[in-house]
Structure 1
Amino acid sequence: MIRPRQVWRMLHIQRVLLKHGLDELVSATHLFRPVAWLRRIPGLGISKAARARPMGVRIREAMVELGPIFVKFGQALSTRRDLLPREIADELAKLQDRVPPFPAEETHRQLAAAYKRPLEELFARFDDEPLAAASIAQVHTACLPDGREAIVKVLRPGVRAQIRRDVDVLHALAGLAERYWSEARRLRPREVVREFDNTLMNELDLMREAANAAQLRRNFEGSPLLYVPEVYWDWCRPGVLVMERIHGINIGQTARLHEAGIDMRRLAANGVEIFFTQVFRHNFFHADMHPGNIFVNPENPAQPQYIAVDFGIVGSLSASDQQYLAESFLAFFKRDYQRVARLHVESGWLAPGTRIDEVESAFRTVCEPIFNKPLKDISFGQFLVRLFTVARQFEMEVQPQLILLEKTLLNVEGLGRELYPDLDLWETAQPILEEWMRERVSGRAIVERLREQLPEVGETIQELPQALHAILQRAAAGKLQVEVKHPGLEPLRAELRAGRRQRWRSSAGGALLIGGVLWLGLQTTPPAAGWALLIAGLALFLLSRPGSSS
């Protein structure tokens, strides 16, 4: 149920939209139509002064007044200049790091509360004028006592309560949607809002952001593609983040990039490579890649290096989601639409009884027009809209765990479009994915995964004698099998038999794998016998997976 305070918040949203002359948005939003009479109340209607200002300015100012969630929505929209009029996109881009700052006195108060020490003892210099101000925090420059230049990120006062208030409204609306909207079962609004809620709450913990930055820095240590600034842990607190100060050209300043002689094609391609490397090789990706968070090191214009900041939102995928996504991307690249359809059914994203040929035909219809074109002629946003149309046709459920990935991919495409419109996103990504897939099935990778699984397999093998002893005891006592005649139990018996076969295969596969590893590790001759044991064990392991043929 929607509580009175949530209704009041929705009324407040409408009042702010009307105040800024955005009555067309109110009229277009079905939830607000029943209270459209508000515009007739004196003081709540649209002023002539509001209407006189450009639309982009009105939208930006309304989002700032409505709070952090609306600012973040505006940031996301600003990266898709292909979907917005340029004057609106330019105004929304100001939300990336030019939100009105809070006073220096409030910054000092929060720092004193966090450190319990005077500011003069913490920093050799602290600059009261913020370097940047965004929806959740603002950043100041400072100098540490040892002379290192740093940035100090401080949460906005009251931001947690503001976000909690608006997310509660989203939870209530999601509940109503699941109750009354026929599409809700497939789109799973509760789970989507829950994912959004978790992401925002994590972003409010600056110690978590520091840990994210440290992990990303380790992943790209020494890489020419991406530089991640160092975290100064001794100065970090849950509401304060202190990091190395970086210097570079903001990626949104394309004129400066051209003046610096940056190879724009290489820069755009590197951005795609960084994205796919994070998602598939590291399984840890920066999920807030709007232009306010990305800079370019101009020292080597022919091989430009990205510099990332703001690590509050990161994502990762399960091993199965990684595998299915990589195979799906590659199948798309090869236009193997039957494989794409089968992967969607096998992954559980489509119902098991879905006809493969119909899904294949639908994917072919959507994808064929986009291939063999440069990025400037492809709108990935429109492509996703058409894919969602296919999804609705086959009742494909939304995967909440993939929302961050989709958002990041849209950001990457938006950046690529600005930097080098002729870049072919698909052509750039395909070799990266193919190399990852080759590494996944290489002998070294298989042996490494076996080495990681040895403790678990060894424990299973140790339990085998005890299990066999128990079975023999039950057989000797005549209690091994109880026959119950009932036709409804036959499917259950078949499932149990399949489970027994899978457990036997898993145990036998484990024993063979251990034997093979030991054979090769002890350099026993002939080595071919060791590889034969490994391959046989791996085959049994694959057969023991759920869904494998019996």
Structure 2
Amino acid sequence: MRGPHNIWRLIRTGATFERTGAMGAVLEAMDAPAPIRAAARVLGWPFKLLGLRGDPSMPPVPRALTALGPAYIKFGQILSTRPDVVGPDMAMELRVLQDKLPPFPLEEARRVVAAEMERPLEEVFSAFSEPVAAASIAQVHRATLIETGRDVAVKLLRPGIDRAFRKDVDAFHLMATLIETLSPSSRRLRPRDVITHFEGVVLQELDLRIEASAAGEFAANTANDDGFVVPAVEWGMSTRRMMVLGWADGASFGDVAAIDAAGHDRRKLGATVLQMFLRHALRDGYFHADMHQGNLKVAPNGDIVALDFGIMGRIDEYTRRVYAEILMGFIRKDYRRVAEVHFEAGYVPPDRDVGEFAQALRSVGEPIFGMEASRISMGRLLAFLFEVTERFGMETRTELILLQRTMVVVEGVGRSLDPDLNIWAEARPVVEEYIARNIGPQAVARDLFRTAIVLSRFGPRLPQLAEAALIAQANPEKPPSSARWPERFALAGGGLAVGLVLAAIYAAL
């Protein structure tokens, strides 16, 4: 980490935020404490004239981030997924950074393709268009394969983007360290973890082979989902700097007029996109975490087509069950159960009172559910929930924040198609279906059976391990006869557990 360079980048960042008017907006959105406000002004105000001007037609914060370059734009996009850090209003404002950015020249794109394919572009594609979309890291061209005549989308990394990111990420780490040092209360939001998460996301996006893999996994998971399509990957043509997918015709979810002109049922589309997101998150534990209108199309036959797999979310099976129970608790207005789930999962410190937490959750849910269906907002609910959980000492969980933020975005997409969309009515059958299959007697039996399979792998060693455990218990002061004794003892416990689990299953049968 090169200190002087990082300090200069912080100064340039502060100066640009001051010059564009973004500094005050950010400090207010984050409710920054006095030490942070003072440090920000020191890094920005004296150097204001050295800051970049940016595009005055944009809101202040997106204007500043766009002026500072690709790493800042991408950081803004990531922060738009963290309303717990920047607040729901600022998170919404940062979504403008998802829009089109200036592309790099076509000739440069042709050189990238030739370098990645190790042969001239004309030997691979019979047609290759001007950029049809451009973002902070990559841009997309439409092309036609010579070999098959198939139309494809070709995604290319911006030249030099790796170097540009590496120069800024260290400065972000320094900034996060300063924030945690000057404001101990900010540690609940884990600023350094936010930057580490950002760095991990960016490193993945800088290798398009990883995005191609994400698209392939998502396509496999959703292959049997009627009405939902993921374009197929051209594996032989996807490299670190280039990814090729099947081309998707259709109307963008952001073009309501085109959707109407094509005769699609907007109410059905709004409900379907919400239910699909929940199904993918709960059933598969793997979901598209960037489902804004620009990344969704309606195919001519009415199917929903997902695009851009740079940001995907993954949650483990236990967390899915927790999230489903929290959602269902709110849907049923069972605030006591929602509180208990938070305690059972360890999200809230055990020294807090579950009754008081349930009461606080009621203050979150009741005002929301008392509204008309068209006014019920997941975004408003989550904003209130963040406030309550902060008061009760709940630490931020990145995977849940990403899941919840995507839910807010999907809600916005659904409402853009059907302003009267009842979020909870559409979510309920998906959540109930998941709970019926994964929480209850059948799920318990399935979990026990899976546990038995895992533990039974030690079955052949059970006699030896049980003997070692019993000897150790009978002679607690006698040193182990082998350096591997601790491991043998642990495995012995696992072997004994096998017998208990198998006995329980046998008794149940």
Report the TM-score range of the alignment, normalised by the length of the smaller protein.
Answer: 0.7 to 0.9
2:508 is the alignment partner of 1:533: yes
Match among 47, 56, 78 for residue 38 of structure 1: 47
Greater shift, 13-22 or 244-253, is seen at 13-22
Post-superposition shift, 1:439?
1.2
| Aligned residue number for residue 12 of structure 1 | 12
| Aligned residue number for residue 496 of structure 1 | none
Match among 412, 415, 418 for residue 413 of structure 2: 415
Note the alpha carbon deviations across 1:116-145, whole angstroms, 9 max, x for none: 222122222222x11111111000111112
Post-superposition shift, 1:33?
1.4
| Aligned residue number for residue 229 of structure 1 | 231
Q: Residues of 1 paired with 2:188 and 2:341: CA distance?
A: 18
| Aligned residue number for residue 475 of structure 2 | 480
Query: Is contact 2:18-2:45 (8 Å) kept?
Result: no
Output the amino acid matched with 1:37.
P
Distance 1:173 1:333, change over 3 A: same
| Aligned residue number for residue 509 of structure 1 | 500
Query: Is contact 2:273-2:410 (8 Å) kept?
Result: yes
What secondary structure sits across from 1:217 in the alignment?
A: helix
What secondary structure sits across from 2:244 in the alignment?
A: strand
Q: Residues of 1 paired with 2:448 and 2:416: CA distance?
A: 44
> Which runs of structure 2 are paired with 1:331-480 in the superposition (5 Å)?
331-374=329-372, 376-441=374-439, 452-471=450-469, 479-480=474-475
Query: Is contact 2:16-2:53 (8 Å) kept?
Result: no
Q: Larger radius of gyration, structure 1 or 2?
A: 1
Distance 1:445 1:83, change over 3 A: closer
Match among 307, 310, 313 for residue 312 of structure 1: 310
Post-superposition shift, 1:471?
4.9
Q: Residues of 1 paired with 2:23 and 2:348: CA distance?
A: 40
Note the alpha carbon deviations across 1:104-163, whole angstroms, 9 max, x for none: 222122223222222122222222x11111111000111112211111100011222333
| Aligned residue number for residue 134 of structure 2 | 133
Note the alpha carbon deviations across 1:72-94, whole angstroms, 9 max, x for none: 466679999x9779xx97x964x
Note the alpha carbon deviations across 1:470-505, whole angstroms, 9 max, x for none: 356568xxx53459xxxxxxxxxxxxxxx9998687
What secondary structure sits across from 2:323 in the alignment?
A: helix
Distance 1:473 1:14, change over 3 A: closer
Distance 1:203 1:363, change over 3 A: same
TM-score (norm 1): 0.79
| Aligned residue number for residue 126 of structure 2 | 124
Distance 1:192 1:17, change over 3 A: closer
Distance 1:70 1:200, change over 3 A: same
Q: Unaligned stretches of 5+ in structure 1?
A: 484-498, 517-531, 535-550
Post-superposition shift, 1:21?
6.5
Query: Is contact 2:456-2:498 (8 Å) kept?
Result: no
Q: Residues of 2 paired with 1:26 and 1:332: CA distance?
A: 31
Q: Residues of 2 paired with 1:467 and 1:215: CA distance?
A: 40
Distance 1:164 1:461, change over 3 A: same
What secondary structure sits across from 1:190 in the alignment?
A: helix
Tell me how large the CA RMSD over aligned residues is: 3.4
Distance 1:23 1:471, change over 3 A: closer
Output the amino acid matched with 1:241.
M
Note the alpha carbon deviations across 1:316-367, whole angstroms, 9 max, x for none: 1122211111111111111111111111111111111111111111111111
Post-superposition shift, 1:237?
0.4
| Aligned residue number for residue 117 of structure 2 | 115
Post-superposition shift, 1:285?
0.4
Q: Residues of 2 paired with 1:118 and 1:185: CA distance?
A: 52
Q: Residues of 2 paired with 1:15 and 1:175: CA distance?
A: 19
Distance 1:362 1:505, change over 3 A: farther
Q: Residues of 2 paired with 1:46 and 1:197: CA distance?
A: 26
Distance 1:328 1:23, change over 3 A: closer
Distance 1:502 1:410, change over 3 A: farther
Output the amino acid matched with 1:64.
T
Post-superposition shift, 1:265?
1.6
Distance 1:349 1:454, change over 3 A: closer
| Aligned residue number for residue 102 of structure 1 | 104
Note the alpha carbon deviations across 1:292-324, whole angstroms, 9 max, x for none: 11111242xxxx421011111111112221111
Query: Is contact 1:178-1:184 (8 Å) kept?
Result: yes
Q: Residues of 2 paired with 1:141 and 1:223: CA distance?
A: 26
TM-score (norm 2): 0.84
Output the amino acid matched with 1:33.
R
Note the alpha carbon deviations across 1:246-269, whole angstroms, 9 max, x for none: 101100111222222322221111
Distance 1:440 1:199, change over 3 A: same
| Aligned residue number for residue 266 of structure 1 | 268
What secondary structure sits across from 2:103 in the alignment?
A: coil
What secondary structure sits across from 2:110 in the alignment?
A: helix
The percent identity for this pair of structures is 36
Post-superposition shift, 1:452?
4.6
Post-superposition shift, 1:17?
4.3
Q: Residues of 2 paired with 1:178 and 1:400: CA distance?
A: 17
Query: Is contact 2:468-2:492 (8 Å) kept?
Result: no
Query: Is contact 1:71-1:135 (8 Å) kept?
Result: yes
Q: Residues of 2 paired with 1:383 and 1:358: CA distance?
A: 18
Query: Is contact 1:185-1:397 (8 Å) kept?
Result: no
Greater shift, 253-262 or 343-352, is seen at 253-262
What secondary structure sits across from 1:131 in the alignment?
A: strand
Note the alpha carbon deviations across 1:162-197, whole angstroms, 9 max, x for none: 333333222222222333323234222222222222
Post-superposition shift, 1:426?
1.4
Distance 1:11 1:469, change over 3 A: closer
| Aligned residue number for residue 196 of structure 1 | 198
| Aligned residue number for residue 495 of structure 1 | none
Q: Unaligned stretches of 5+ in structure 2?
A: 479-489
Q: Residues of 2 paired with 1:323 and 1:8: CA distance?
A: 46
What secondary structure sits across from 2:131 in the alignment?
A: coil
Output the amino acid matched with 1:135.
S
